Structure formats: C-alpha cells, structure tokens
Amino acid sequence: MDYLTKKWKYWYSYLDVNHDGMISFEDVEECRKKFAELHKLKADKAKSVNVDIEKWWNKYIFRAGAGKELSVDDFLNILTSDYKKDKAAFKKSIQECFEEVFNVIDIDKDRTIDMEEFLYAFRAFGHENEDILKTVFKSYKASNDKVPIRQLVDSWVQFVCDEDGSKKDVLREAFEKGM
C-alpha cells in the first residue's frame, strides 16, 4: 500500500490546482477557467465544458459529497477504503474516471491528444513546467504527434492502481521530477 499511497499523494497534488494544500471547489473553478481560456472557448462551448468538468470532479474526486473540501488524509482514506474493498471495482472506476476526463480534454474529439491539448490540460490543473510536460508527452512515443486517448487512460490507470513498483510508470517518474 505504501507505493500506491505515495502515488495517490502525487495525484492529490495534481488535483490541488491552486496549490493551497486542500482540494476544494476553488480548484474546480480555477481548472474550468484556465481550461476555457487556454482553448479560447466560445461562451456556449465553454459552458458545456464547464458542466462536464464540474460533473467529473463531483463524481470522481468529491466522492464524500459534491464540492466538499478534501484534505490529503481524506483523499487517501477514500482511495484506500475503495481499493481495499474491491480492487477490480476500484480499477474499473478509475478507468471510467480517466476516460471521462480525457473525453473533455479532447476538444477536437479525434480520440487522440496532441501536445497542445496535453499542455493545456496540465496547465488547467495548475502545472506549468513545460519542459517536464513535453518530456512526459514524448515518453508516450506519439504517432503523428498525437497520443491515443486509450494509451493515456491506461497510463493513468496504471499510475493510480498498480502496486508493482518495478514496472515503468511514466507518470510516477514525471511526478518525481517535479511535474
């Protein structure tokens, strides 16, 4: 569990968009605002994306209650409880979590993520280190400079669910480098 807990702490820091040490609705607001601005979304598209982003946060992150502030301990306790209760159901939920978020991130709906979409997504979550982000993107060995959503989802599922520290984990490595 120690290896997973370490990775879940990284995930928590990723979700703490405003870097105040708590996951709250303020993080949702900042994420939505940055995402819409980076993509220069028009009002109707921005509204639709904002609804999808909030829905994702409430369904997968604020599982203790919509918009309910989470400390790192709250977050870890929820994940640990779900993981220990039923690993297969936990993995399925995490798979759905990342499928949904990448469907939002994939603005052009081509089922791939290009470098710009990748950078915008991480920036929307408050991560600005472009050198590390570009290195991570390149580690996916993108074909035609695009990474299939399936590959990205699989890497996040591995990051959140896989207990085997001997396996290469591009996201863990990126977080360890300061992503």
**Residues 125-138 pLDDT 10s:** 888 888 889 989 99
Q: Read off the pLDDT of each residue in 150-167 and give the average, rounded to a whole number.
A: 95
Which CATH code fits 2-176? Answer: 1.10.238.10
Among 32-36, 139-143, 145-149, which is the least confidently predicted range? Answer: 139-143
Residue 48 pLDDT more than 90?
A: no
For the chain, the structural domain boundaries read 2-176
CB burial of 50-87 (b: ≥16 within 10 Å; e: otherwise) equals beebbebbbebbbbeeeeeebeeebbbebbeeebeeee
**Residue 126 in contact with residue 26, Cβ under 8 Å?**
no
Percent of the chain clearing pLDDT 70 (strictly above): 99
In Å, how far are 148, 149, 171 from 119, measured between CA atoms? 15, 15, 14
Determine the pLDDT at residue 128. 84
The pTM is what? 0.90
Q: Read off the pLDDT of each residue in 118-123 and give the average, rounded to a whole number.
A: 91
- Could you read off the pLDDT of 54-112 as tens digits, one per residue? 899 999 999 877 778 999 999 999 999 999 999 999 999 999 999 999 998 898 899 99
Q: Read off the pLDDT of each residue in 29-53 and give the average, rounded to a whole number.
A: 88
Percent of the chain clearing pLDDT 90 (strictly above): 60
**Closest by CA position to 161, among listed 96, 69, 112:** 96
Residue 142 pLDDT more than 80?
A: no
Q: Read off the pLDDT of each residue in 142-162 and give the average, rounded to a whole number.
A: 93
Q: Are strands 112-114 and 146-148 parallel, antiparallel or unpaired?
A: antiparallel
Determine the pLDDT at residue 42. 87
Q: Using CB atoms within 10 A of its CB, is residue 159 exposed (0-12), middle (13-18) or buried (19+)?
A: buried
Determine the pLDDT at residue 66. 76
Tell me the pLDDT of the chain averaged across its residues: 91
